[in-house]
Amino acid sequence: MNFLQFLMKKKELIPLVIFISIAGTGAVSMSMYSLFKSDVIVNRWQNPEPWENVNPSQPQKLVTINQKWEPVEELQTIKKLTK
């Protein structure tokens, strides 16, 4: 309650506290969103090549507009030769 009483005395700090709270919440939520994506490496020893498990038809960006995925033939042949 002491903090709220302080804010009521200094009303000019209320917008600053609101903006900092929104920025902190946005930063934490974006970090959590990015952490659970399929192309993020958290433990690289357990899964050394996580990019092999990424579904190319699923968008990996936060906002995707008109994304079309087509496999590159040269990369597919190299991938087949190295396995």
Q: pLDDT digits over 50-59, tens only?
A: 677 777 766 6
Provide the 8-state DSSP code for 5: H
In this predicted structure, the answer to whether residue 63 has a pLDDT above a threshold of 90 is no
Total count of domains within the chain: 1
Residue 27 in this model has a pLDDT that exceeds 90: yes
- Is the pTM above the cut of 0.85? no
Angstrom distance (rounded) from CA 54 to CA 71: 13
Q: How many CA atoms lie within 13 A of 82 on its CB side?
A: 6
Domain extent, residue 27, equals 2-82
Type of residue at 27: A
CA–CA gap between residue 78 and residue 51 (Å, rounded): 16
